[in-house]
Structure 1
Amino acid sequence: MKERAASAVVFNIATKKFLVVKRADTKDEHPGQWEFPGGYVEENEEPIEAAARELKEETGIVSEPIRTGEKGVYEKLEVNPFLFAVDNEEVELSREHTEFKWIEKKDLEKLDTVIGVEQEMEALDIQ
Structure 2
Amino acid sequence: TTHYMDEADHACDRIGIIDHGRVVATDSPDALKASVCRDIISIRADGPLPGGLPEGITFLGRTDGEFRFEADRGDEMGPVLSRAFTNAGLAVRAVSVRQPTLDDVFLALVGESDETEVFDDQRFRRMLRRR
TM-score by length of structure 1 reads: 0.26
- Give the number of the structure whose residues are more often strand, by fraction: 1
- Give the number of the structure whose residues are more often helix, by fraction: 2
Of the two structures, which has the highest relative contact order with CA contacts closer than 8 Å and spacing of 6 or more? 1
TM-score by length of structure 2 reads: 0.25
